[in-house]
Every structure is written in C-alpha cells, then in structure tokens.
Amino acid sequence: MSMPQPDALCREQIVKGLARLPWAQQLRVEQTVDSTNRLARRLAEEGCPSGTAVLADRQTAGRGRLGRSFYSPGGEGLYLSVVLRPKEPADKLMQLTALAAVAACDAVENVCGVRPQIKWTNDLVLGGKKLAGILTELSVAPEDRRVRYAIVGIGVNVHQTAFPDEISDTATSLKLHTDRDHSRNELAAALLRSFFRMDGLRDIGAEMKRYAENCITVGRRVQLVRADTRTEALALAVQPDGSLLVRYDDGTEQSVFCGEVSVRGMYGYI
C-alpha cells in the first residue's frame, strides 16, 4: 500500500480555506495537466464563469513568459490559473499582471510569514532568487478590443530543495528560504482569496503604488534583453500603467512594456 503523499493537494481543504468566497465552487484540482493556463483557457472558451480556477499537482508543459518553460515537478510546486472576465480594456494587461504580483506577495506573506519582493514585471523574489512567476494571458475581441477573458497563472516553488542546472543559481523555494515546510493547500486558498480581492479592486492607483514599493528592480542597473539586443540602462521607476521607466547611458529615457523585453540584473538574476 502506498503512503499518502505529504502535502497532497486536497480540494476539500482548499474550499474550506475559501470560506464563503463565491469562487469556491468553481475550483478544479487536477493531478497532471500540460499547463493549468491552457486548461483554464479551454474552460474560458467553453464559457466558464469568472473566478473559475485550475490547480494541478504537476505540469508537463508549464509555460512562462516570452515562450519560456516553467519547471513544474509533481508534489513540489503550486501551479494555479484563474479565469477572470475583467471589464477594463486590453491595455490594462500590464496592470493586471502587476496587481496579481502584489496579491501573490500578500498571500505568501499571510501564509508563510515572509514577504517576497517583485522583480519587474512578474517574478516574486526571495533572497535575490526567483520564488514564483506569473503569466497573464488575454483573449481580446478584435472588433472593439474588449477583453473576453484573462487567465492569471502563477507557479510557486514550495518544497523544492534542488533545481535543474539551468535555474539552480537563480531559483529558490519557500522550503529553501525559510527552512520550513509550507502547505500548498493553505497557500492555494490564500492566493485565491487574494486574487478575488484584486478582482474587486476599485482603487488601482493605490495598488500600483504598492507594486512600485515592492519592486526590487527600481534603482538598479539592468540589461534590457530584446530578440537580438541587450541594452544597459538604469531602472528609474514603475509608471502608473505598469511600464518600467528606464534611462539609457546616453541620457534618453523610455518606458518599456512587459511584452517586449526581459529584464536581467547586471550581476545576475535581479
């Protein structure tokens, strides 16, 4: 007889942690999927209500930003995607990712007692290493640029004590950082509560201020990595629309948007 897996995902436990949150009945917990974002997208196309969420123990094709993959071993990380049907137009995508990052920091802090910082635009960082990534995807109606749905997907490294070579210098987990075990079920419930709160936010300006306060990239020299160029710059500020204001060495300034660049630190990941 096999032993129950420690910290196995348990829908019932998560639903309990959601109290009377209207999203509670729309949670789907899976063992293995290719990508929770992909499954969430399928559910959205089929017309599922806003707040439908997909959580998986393992992803075989977890996806990150700019076509990268996201390391998603079974039993170790938390892989969660939520379908939202926001009223705001498509140009708010940057803000949605930013708001999700702040919401995720709140959830990690509530459950684990440590507050991550944010590496612009969508990475949660602990001790200078990547703890989590967020991938926001939109479906936009071509006629009027209305957002049909948004998928907010987050992957958090929870129990990992080692990572593949390619990310071993830059990745961390809650276990590695705090030297304690944390419950994926509690964290999933906290994330959903936090995303629910975010979805109802009216004062986005105030939340963007919190994003800027939590953003570790501001004030650092960075490399802006585009398809075939790397440009050095100083990160000056996060703008209210979520873009990053940078100053190049020739003195010119520019706002950069998340879809176009990846930001690297000068001396490593941050």
Binding residues for ligand BTN, rule: CB under 6 A, are 35-37, 59, 62-65, 68, 70, 79-81, 133-135, 153-155
Residue with Cβ nearer ligand BTN (179 or 190): 190
Q: Measured from the CB of residue 122, what is the shortest distance to ligand BTN in angstroms?
A: 6
The distance of closest approach from Cβ of residue 59 to ligand BTN in the complex, given in angstroms and rounded to an integer, is 6
Considering the complex, state which of residue 38 and residue 193 has its C-beta at the smaller distance from ligand BTN.
38
Residue nearest to ligand BTN (CB): 133
- CB neighbours of 141 closer than 8 A, spacing ≥ 6? 147, 148
Asked if residues 98 and 210 have their Cβ atoms less than 8 Å apart, the reply is no
CB of 134 or CB of 246, closer to ligand BTN: 134
Nearer to ligand BTN, 59 or 194 (CB): 59
Least distance from C-beta 3 to ligand BTN, angstroms? 27
The rounded distance, in Å, linking the Cα atoms of 98 and 210 is 10
C-alpha angle 207-65-94 in degrees, rounded to nearest 5 = 30
Pick between residue 68 and residue 145 the one whose CB is nearest to ligand BTN.
Answer: 68
Please say which residue, 101 or 238, places its beta carbon nearer to ligand BTN.
101
The DSSP letter of residue 57 is E
Q: Smallest distance from the beta carbon of 162 to ligand BTN, in angstroms? A: 19
Comparing C-alpha atoms, which of 120, 128, 126 is closest to residue 98? 120
Phi, psi of 13 (to 5 degrees): -65, -40
Among residues 65 and 184, whose Cβ is nearest to ligand BTN?
65
DSSP state of 175: H
CA pair distance 262, 121, nearest whole angstrom = 9
The whole-angstrom separation of Cα 72 and Cα 34 is 10
Q: Are 244 and 256 in contact, with CB atoms under 8 Å apart?
A: yes
Burial class (CB in 10 A: 0-12, 13-18, 19+), 114: middle
Tell the smallest beta-carbon distance from residue 205 to ligand BTN (Å).
25
Beta carbon of residue 214, minimum distance to ligand BTN (angstroms, whole number): 17
| Residue entry with tokens 């917990």 | 29
- How far is Cα of residue 50 from the mean position of the Cα atoms in its chain? 18
Of the pair 66, 141, the CB lying nearest ligand BTN is at 66
Task: Kindly state the smallest distance separating residue 56's Cβ from ligand BTN, in Å.
Answer: 8
User: Nearest approach, Cβ of 34 to ligand BTN (angstroms)?
Assistant: 8
Helix (H, G, I), strand (E, B) or coil at 185: helix
- Contact between 123 and 269 under an 8 Å Cβ cutoff? The reply is no
